[in-house]
């Protein structure tokens, strides 16, 4: 497979009033890569991601998502990305199948196509027998898996996950990451923000953000050896300490 850049970001900046939330960041993400966006709360992860999804207009800088310009081709970008946030996007008062139908419907999928993909997805999630249950009756871990699956029902090139595993137990988190791996394997680019450092190990490459800048970027192995750390937790703490000095 040739190297195709799914995301290219150059000097992207977002200023709110006199607060610089994202300060001149640049990076590339390759197709099929799991790219982790790490940092403390308020480091600018979510702001950066929102600009890439077209939810926020950048103050300056450029970015191309799936080959499309974020300023001029936002409509095309929307059709090629999926998005899931920690503040969970499915509707509690709709059943599983109604949620899926809704999200498939707003991406303009054909009826037959929706049926096929829904079946395939419910099979995979083992939820076929409970597809008419209200979402509110499901445990959080299941909801998150379902939210992820609906976020990619239109088979986007890139999926953005904003702290997707917030508030879930480690075992469910592991199951969630297995699901992510499966899709990355099939060529989908995964852009994920998290503040769980153990999850960082699952990523192909990581960028550590502090105060709106990218402080470190590389594979988990490279970051660990660069900072002479045994795990990502230590890397994170060391970067934070460097910043403080």
Partner 1 sequence: MKKFRVFVWKEFIHIWRDKRTLTILLSMPAILIILFGFAITNEINDAPIGIYDKSKDELTSKITSNIINSGYFKLEEIIKSDDEIIDVFKKGRIKMIIIYESDFESNLTKFNTANIQIISDATDPNVANTLVNYAKSLVNNFIMIEYNISPNFKIDVKMRYNTEMKGSFLFVPGLITILMMLIGAMMTALSLTREHEFGSMEYLLTSPLNSYMIIFAKLIPYLLIALFDIIVILILGTVVFGVIIQGSLLLLMFECLLFIIMSLSLGLLISTVSKSQQVALMISLMGLMLPTILLSDFIFPVSNMPQWLQFITNFIPARWFNTIIKSVMLKGAGIGNIINETLYICGFIVLFLGLSIFNFKERLD
State the greatest distance between any 2 C-alpha atoms of the chain, in Å, as a whole number.
59
Using DSSP's 3-state secondary structure scheme, residue 40 falls into: coil
Residue with tokens 């390759």: 30
Q: From the list 102, 123, 231, 233, which residue makes contact with partner 1 (rule: CB under 8 A)?
A: 102
Tell me the closest approach of the beta carbon of residue 32 to partner 1, in angstroms.
Answer: 21
Q: From the list 27, 40, 61, 88, which residue makes contact with partner 1 (rule: CB under 8 A)?
A: 88
Q: From the list 160, 176, 191, 236, which residue makes contact with partner 1 (rule: CB under 8 A)?
A: 160
Number of residues that bind partner 1 (CB under 8 A): 33
Q: From the list 26, 62, 78, 113, which residue makes contact with partner 1 (rule: CB under 8 A)?
A: 78
CA distances from 197 to 91, 108, 220, 221, 236 (A): 29, 37, 10, 13, 8
Q: From the list 35, 37, 68, 83, which residue makes contact with partner 1 (rule: CB under 8 A)?
A: 83
Number of neighbouring beta carbons within 10 Å of residue 15: 14
Q: Is 20 in the site for partner 1 (CB under 8 A)?
A: no
Tell me the closest approach of the beta carbon of residue 170 to partner 1, in angstroms.
Answer: 24
Instruction: Specify whether the CB–CB gap between 179 and 192 falls below 8 A.
Output: no
In this complex, which beta carbon is closest to partner 1, that of residue 3 or of residue 87? 87
Q: Is 75 in the site for partner 1 (CB under 8 A)?
A: yes
Tell me the closest approach of the beta carbon of residue 102 to partner 1, in angstroms.
Answer: 5
Distance CA 82, CA 80 (A): 7
Residue 212 neighbours by CB under 8 Å, 6+ apart: 20, 21, 22, 23, 25, 43, 44
**230 φ, ψ (degrees, to nearest 5):** -85, -30
- Only one of the segments 2-10, 90-98, 124-132, 211-219 lies at the binding site for partner 1 (rule: CB under 8 A); that segment is 90-98
Site for partner 1 in 104-123 (CB under 8 A): 105-108
Strand 81-85 and strand 158-162: the pairing is parallel
Residue 166 neighbours by CB under 8 Å, 6+ apart: 86
Site for partner 1 in 161-220 (CB under 8 A): none
- Only one of the segments 2-10, 36-44, 80-88, 236-244 lies at the binding site for partner 1 (rule: CB under 8 A); that segment is 80-88
Residue with tokens 């992510």: 180
**160 φ, ψ (degrees, to nearest 5):** -100, 125
Q: Is 241 in the site for partner 1 (CB under 8 A)?
A: no
Q: Name which of 217, 218, 219, 211 is nearest 243 in CA terms.
A: 211
Q: From the list 10, 11, 79, 126, which residue makes contact with partner 1 (rule: CB under 8 A)?
A: 79
In this complex, which beta carbon is closest to partner 1, that of residue 29 or of residue 51? 51
Q: What residues make contact with partner 1 under the rule CB under 8 A?
A: 50, 53-57, 75, 78-79, 81-94, 98, 101-103, 105-108, 151, 160
């Amino acid at each position: 497979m040739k190297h195709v850049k799914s995301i290219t970001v150059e000097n992207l900046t977002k200023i709110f009033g006199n607060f610089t939330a994202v300060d001149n960041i640049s990076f590339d993400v390759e197709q099929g890569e799991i790219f982790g966006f790490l940092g403390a709360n308020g480091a600018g992860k979510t702001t950066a991601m929102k600009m890439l999804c077209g939810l926020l207009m950048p103050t300056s800088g450029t970015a191309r998502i799936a080959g499309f310009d974020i300023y001029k081709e936002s409509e095309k970008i929307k059709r090629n990305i999926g998005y899931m946030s920690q503040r969970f996007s499915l509707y509690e008062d709709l059943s599983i199948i109604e949620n899926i139908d809704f999200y498939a419907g707003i991406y303009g999928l054909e009826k037959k196509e929706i049926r096929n993909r829904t079946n395939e997805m419910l099979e995979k999630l083992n939820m076929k027998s409970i597809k008419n249950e209200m979402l509110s009756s499901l445990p959080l871990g299941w909801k998150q898996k379902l939210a992820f699956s609906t976020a990619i029902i239109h088979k986007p090139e890139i999926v953005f996950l904003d702290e997707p595993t917030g508030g879930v137990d480690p075992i469910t988190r592991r199951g969630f990451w297995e699901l992510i791996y499966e899709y990355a394997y099939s060529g989908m680019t995964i852009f994920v923000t998290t503040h769980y450092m153990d999850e960082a190990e699952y990523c192909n490459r990581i960028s550590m953000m502090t105060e709106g800048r990218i402080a470190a970027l590389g594979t988990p192995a490279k970051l660990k050896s660069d900072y002479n750390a045994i795990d990502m937790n230590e890397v994170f703490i060391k970067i934070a300490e460097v910043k403080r000095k």
